[in-house]
Amino acid sequence: MSETALPKDDVRPVPDAPVDVPGDDMPPPAAVQRRGNGLAIVALLLGAAGVAVGGWGVWQVRHLQANNQQQLSQVQALNDQAQSLKLNEERLAARLAQLPSADELESRSRLVIQLQGDQQRLNQRLETVLGASRKDWRLAEAEHLLRLASLRLSALQDISSAQALVQGADEILREQNDPGSFAAREQVAKTLVALRSTEQPDRTGLFLRLGALRDQVISLTELAPEYKDRGDSLLGLTADGDGASRWSQWWDQISRYIRIDFNADKNVRPLLAGQGLSQVRLALSLALEQAQWAALNGQAAVYTQALDEARDVLKGNFNPDNPQSKVMLEQVTELSAQPVTVITPDLTGTLSAVQGYLERRNVNAEDSIKPLPKPAANAVQEATP
């Protein structure tokens, strides 16, 4: 359909004007002009459509080229991957060729299982041995504690230390929780009861009390009294204006050795003076010092003998009516009755019971340990590549 056709309403006839009609097929000028414009528009539209089609075609070409390039790169990457896979396949094939056969692998697997079982048994034995060794160390410690307790009792008669040592040994035996230790624990319990029922002598207290008595020896008795002038008539008669006469000098000398006592019914003892008193004090001090040594070392015979000597010195050389000597004599008599030794329990039976328990335990431990079975020789040969 032609776009240059005009509607019929737009054609208006010109009246009374002469019309020069060159021919019947020629259109009017206005119609020709409109038809030219329509053709130009159509041409422009066709040109634009052609340009668009050309641009779209160029874009398609470039897009196809890019796709082709990408596909080429992907193809190259796939080729590289195929090459690497081929190389890996060749390497795996080489490694598979080096691997042992199925029978050899099965024999090695059996050997590994056997070795694992032996290792587990060895670990169990090692744990058992280590646990037994720890228990053996503790039991040896208990035996050593009992030996120390026996030594303390025999040498020093130290009840408190021996009781603590035996208590430690009993705790070690209780930690074992072994029915076989019943006899040993029974002996230890008897020893503990005997130690707790034995009274510990206070040797340190006796030593200190005897030392205090030694300090009082020097002040027991003063020297023999001398006659002093107190304004008596006798001394006044013997003196003259020139000074003391021979009678007064003689009276001064004799007053050192003569004492007048108006209580004649009592036992009169001579007073010590000078060197004799010092010797008696030294003898009493030495006796008390010997008693100190005997009390500290638990020597009952020496302790009793030393206190008897001190009591004899006090009775034979000092006046019993003197308060100081009387109190010291009473204290010496009281101290002589104090015990310095004690009959200690015998730990031989307890120590023997513990040693017997240790021997039985060691024998049972040796019987329970058995050697591991050796692996078969053929299994080892099969496992060798």
User: With contact defined as beta carbons under 8 Å apart, do 355 and 333 qualify?
Assistant: no
Residue 246 covered by a domain: no
Which residue's entry shows tokens 């459509």? 49
Q: Do 156 and 122 belong together in one domain?
A: yes
Q: Which domain holds residue 292?
A: 201-227+273-341
pLDDT, tens digit, 9 for 90 and up, residues 167-183: 999 999 998 888 888 99
Residue 351 covered by a domain: yes
> What type of residue sits at position 45?
L
Q: What is the mean pLDDT of the chain?
A: 77
Q: Do 176 and 282 belong together in one domain?
A: no
CATH (domain of 145): 1.20.120
Q: Do 209 and 289 belong together in one domain?
A: yes
How much is the pLDDT for 269?
Answer: 52
Higher pLDDT, 144 or 342: 144
Nearest Cα to 144, choosing from 305, 351, 282, 324?
A: 351
Predicted confidence band of residue 382 (pLDDT cuts 50, 70, 90): very low
Number of domains in the chain: 2
User: With contact defined as beta carbons under 8 Å apart, do 176 and 354 qualify?
Assistant: no
Residue 129 covered by a domain: yes
Cα dihedral 315, 320, 324, 325 in deg (nearest 10): 0
